[in-house]
Structure 1
Amino acid sequence: MNNKFLGTGVALVTPFKSDLSVDHEALANIVNFNIENGTEYLVICGTTGESVTLNKREKQEVVTTVTNANKGRVPMVLGIGGNNTAAVVEEIKSTDLSNMDAILSVAPYYSKPTQEGLYQHFKAISEASPIDLILYNVPGRTSKNMEPETTLRLAKNFKNIIGVKEAGNNVSQYLQLLKDKPEDFLVISGDDDLALGVVLAGGAGVISVIGQAFPKDFSNMIRLGLQGKTKESYSIHFKLMDVIGYIFEENNPAGIKCVFDALGLCKDTVRLPLVPASHQLKEKIGRFVNDYN
């Protein structure tokens, strides 16, 4: 199994200043905060990073900031995906991936391809990628589920497809993947609320949203889960349960940025069409952070 991606990865936010420009100082601080508190790897320019609102130059600058802050301490994964297969392939070919350990590529959204279309999309991406590839299945955002049979077909046919970030909030689908996967294939939870259960059932870990705000406890919870220490790991899960629900109550990443604002790590600014967390949600998150600390 690819040990680089065992444990807790975090889907980094892209902090913005009040004028909506990228706050690189805050981003570097968040990277350091995570590495110093046990996060095992970093995911850059994913959904939580508001990648669809970043232009090409901004994406490059975000990658540079994270790379410089990381200083080679932990593996890095770059989000490159979309619903135009040719454009995704071209982006992979034109991007400097020398500092990256893998690409995270989301299933095509909006187009709603068949399972064969999903297979052919990721086949083309796999053949274009010079580095490892982690599939990303998130039907709540793409409106199309990648069935376990399709994921496992890709896993068996392409050596550089090393794992899937599964974010369908579907326990049965997780278990199907875990039962039938190749030995070295990584089933990574993309659902913070299910992550511990997935790990205890044989999953490799998580790419987390909330983990970047509470990295010491969250990464420790996942490590305990990987060791099969159910009681100890669930004691941490129960401490974090409420805030996991809060951050997805309205939209992601407005919720997690609200947590960061309460922690003093970055502003809660998001780019349209997202809007900041409501006053009611801010109050709940603020109370949780105060009580937690």
Structure 2
Amino acid sequence: MKHKLTGAGIAIVTPFKTDLSVDHDALARIVDFNIENGMDYIVIAGTTGESVTITSHEKQAIINTIVASNKKRVPLVLGIGGNNTAAVIAEINTSDLSNIDAILSVSPYYSRPTQSGIIAHFQAISKACPIPIVLYNVPGRTGSNMLPETIITLANTCQNIVAVKEAAGNIGQYLRLLRDKPADFMIISGDDDLALPVVLAGGSGVISVIGQAFPKDFSKMIQLGLKGENKEGFKLHNKLMDITGLIFSENNPSGIKAVLSLMDLCQPTVRLPLVEATDVLKQNITEYINNYA
């Protein structure tokens, strides 16, 4: 498992048609585009996939489309998380995970449990889950920070918790995790703007949003980082820096969908309460893409 999720993964969008139904043709296009251009694995139904506004029936249909399009070419990770521990376990128990290599499970949001509560939540999930688990720490969305010592405790006590997608945007927190983690535990960047520095410091890779629009350059940047080739890696980092900032300037995934729309990969449509990127942002993205070489 360590090697399966090393490198550049994408947090894939869920494309919608203008009538807000799932666009499975566009989804298959994005899968092919990313695999053919070097991305190492795909994360399904995460935040970028608008998981909170898709139904359980739609989620299964999305999985089916991605599995069929993937043709076992790259590993697949499925988002199964929440702030109701029993409901998360129930979803794990009732899901067909035969084509899934790991689950990505977000730290409980809204409820704001203590660190002891977070540990107990994930220990319960660990006992129920038959496949590896990637923890997901994203304080900006959950309302609480899963501290490095909490993550390390889970890494040491739960054999099937194999990695964390760390997205606190705090380089000091990354460095503490990299220093204190068990040897085979993976620190995966969930911050596109910090992905290369984290990999150069010893991280295993990234689960990226912007990477799905620029898979060739983004995956190459991560591979350079894994080889310690910082100068060449930062050339690509700097090239992608402005667009990375743009896509997160309003909300995710409206920004990345605006980019993918300009590339004719999917519509810019999102479901409420999100709204499409503003005309100003779309214009700035258009200018960037027109000058991208």
In structure 2, the partner of 1:278 is 278
* SS of residue matched to 1:2: coil
The alpha-carbon deviation at position 147 of structure 1 amounts to 0.3
After superposition, give the CA deviation of every residue in 1:203-245 in whole Å (9 maximum; x if it has no partner).
0000000000000000000000000000000000010000000
1-side partners of 2:51 and 2:131: how far apart? 20
* SS of residue matched to 1:10: strand
In structure 2, the partner of 1:251 is 251
In structure 1, the partner of 2:224 is 224
2-side partners of 1:62 and 1:24: how far apart? 7
Letter paired with 1:64: N
* SS of residue matched to 1:162: strand
For residues 123-134 of structure 1, what are the structure 2 equivalents within 5 Å? 123-134=123-134
* SS of residue matched to 2:192: coil
1-side partners of 2:208 and 2:32: how far apart? 16
In structure 2, the partner of 1:199 is 199
Structure 1 runs (4+) greater than 3 angstroms displaced: none
1-side partners of 2:289 and 2:156: how far apart? 44
Which ranges of structure 1 fall in alignment gaps of 5 or more residues? none
After superposition, give the CA deviation of every residue in 1:88-121 in whole Å (9 maximum; x if it has no partner).
0000000000000000000000000000000000
2-side partners of 1:16 and 1:289: how far apart? 22
Residue 165 of structure 1 pairs with residue 165 of structure 2: yes
* SS of residue matched to 1:77: strand
Residue 137 of structure 1 pairs with residue 137 of structure 2: yes
Residue 31 of structure 1 pairs with residue 16 of structure 2: no
In structure 1, the partner of 2:265 is 265
In structure 1, the partner of 2:112 is 112
Percent of residue pairs identical? 64
2-side partners of 1:138 and 1:114: how far apart? 15
The alpha-carbon deviation at position 256 of structure 1 amounts to 0.2
In structure 1, the partner of 2:176 is 176
The alpha-carbon deviation at position 290 of structure 1 amounts to 1.2
* SS of residue matched to 1:289: helix
The alpha-carbon deviation at position 255 of structure 1 amounts to 0.2
Letter paired with 2:56: K
Residue 151 of structure 1 pairs with residue 151 of structure 2: yes
Letter paired with 1:151: I
The alpha-carbon deviation at position 37 of structure 1 amounts to 0.2
Residue 76 of structure 1 pairs with residue 67 of structure 2: no
Structure 1 length normalisation: TM-score? 0.99
Letter paired with 1:8: A
2-side partners of 1:74 and 1:11: how far apart? 14
The alpha-carbon deviation at position 146 of structure 1 amounts to 0.3
1-side partners of 2:234 and 2:106: how far apart? 30
The alpha-carbon deviation at position 180 of structure 1 amounts to 0.4
For residues 202-217 of structure 1, what are the structure 2 equivalents within 5 Å? 202-217=202-217
* SS of residue matched to 2:270: coil
1-side partners of 2:241 and 2:67: how far apart? 31
2-side partners of 1:115 and 1:180: how far apart? 17
* SS of residue matched to 2:193: coil
2-side partners of 1:102 and 1:52: how far apart? 20
In structure 2, the partner of 1:3 is 3
Letter paired with 1:244: T
Which ranges of structure 2 fall in alignment gaps of 5 or more residues? none
2-side partners of 1:6 and 1:71: how far apart? 20
1-side partners of 2:151 and 2:195: how far apart? 19
In structure 2, the partner of 1:86 is 86
The alpha-carbon deviation at position 179 of structure 1 amounts to 0.3
Letter paired with 2:59: K
Aligned residues: 293
After superposition, give the CA deviation of every residue in 1:104-148 in whole Å (9 maximum; x if it has no partner).
000000000000000000001111000000000000000100000
2-side partners of 1:142 and 1:167: how far apart? 11
The alpha-carbon deviation at position 280 of structure 1 amounts to 0.4
* SS of residue matched to 2:149: helix
* SS of residue matched to 1:98: coil
For residues 44-83 of structure 1, what are the structure 2 equivalents within 5 Å? 44-83=44-83
Q: CA RMSD in A?
A: 0.6
The alpha-carbon deviation at position 61 of structure 1 amounts to 0.2
* SS of residue matched to 2:103: strand
1-side partners of 2:233 and 2:32: how far apart? 24
